[in-house]
Chains A and B, each alone.
Chain A
C-alpha cells in the first residue's frame, strides 16, 4: 500500500516536471521564433527583403542601409 502511494507521488512529481519542461520549451521556442521574425523583417540585408520592408524599417528605426 505504502509503496503504491510512493509510486503515485513519484508519477505526479514526474508529470509536474514534464509540464514545467514543456512550459520552458514553449518560452524558448517563442523567443527563437520572435528573433527569427525580427531578423527577417528588420535586419536581413538581402536586396529583396530590404526593398520590400524599406519604409517600415525607416519608420521603426531599424538600422537601414
Chain B
C-alpha cells in the first residue's frame, strides 16, 4: 500500500511539476521578473515628476537561464508534496468504498485548486514582487487555516450524507474569510497595478491548469499501479 502510494505520488508529482514549471516559465515568471524591476528601482511608477507612466514589457526568461533551474526543481518538489496529499485522499476515499476514475481525478484536481489556490487568493491574491505585505508568519498561518477549512468543507460536500454536513461545509468555507486575512492598513505597492492584476490572473489560471493535470495524473498512476 505504502509502496503504491509512494510510487504513484512521485510519478504524478514529477509530471505535474514539470508541466507547472513550463507553464510558469512561459506565462508567469516573466511577470515576476518584471515586478523585480520595480522592486530594485530599475523601473519606477509614479516617478518624482508625478508621471504615472512606466515602460511595459517583461524581461525574457532566456536572458538568465540558470536562474530558473532551482525554482523549476522546487516546482517538482511542491507538486510531489501535493501529489502525496491527493493520493492519500484518494486511498482514504477508496477505503470507504468510493470509486475512482480518471474523470473523478480531474475533479479532485479542481478541488485541490480551489483549496490551495483559489480560496487563499480571496484574502491574499498571488503577490507580485514589489508588493509589501504584512508579516509573513501571520500570512502563512492564515493560508494554512484557509487550506484546512476549505479542504475539510469540500470533503464534506463530496462525501457527506446529509443536510447537516452540507451546512457545516458552508460554514467552514466562510470561516477564514469572515475572520479575514492579515492586511496592511495602507496600500504600499509600487509596481504598476496593471502588472499586479495580470500577474494574479495568470498565476491563478496557471495553477488551475496544473492542479487539474495533477488530479488526472494522480488518478491515472494510482489506478494503473493497482491494476498491474
Contacts and interface: CB of A to CB of B under 8 A. Distances in A.
Answer yes or no: do A and B interact: yes
B207 A61 contact: yes
Secondary structure at the B interface, as helix, strand, loop or mixed, is helix
B2 A25 contact: yes
B43 interface: no
Interface residues of A, number: 36
Contact of B203 (A28, A43, A53, A59): A59
A63 B203 CA distance: 14
A53 B74 contact: yes
Contacts, number: 134
Contacts of A35: 81, 85
A36 B127 CA distance: 24
A6 interface: no
B28 interface: yes
Interface of B: 1-2, 4-6, 9, 20-21, 24, 28-29, 32-33, 35, 67-68, 70-72, 74-75, 77-78, 80-85, 87-88, 91-92, 95, 117, 120-121, 124-129, 133, 136, 139-140, 143, 203-204, 206-207
Given A52-B74, A56-B75, A58-B129, 20 more contacts: A26-B91, A27-B5, A27-B95, A29-B2, A30-B85, A33-B6, A34-B9, A37-B78, A37-B80, A38-B85, A41-B77, A41-B78, A45-B136, A53-B70, A58-B126, A58-B127, A61-B126, A62-B143, A63-B124, A63-B133
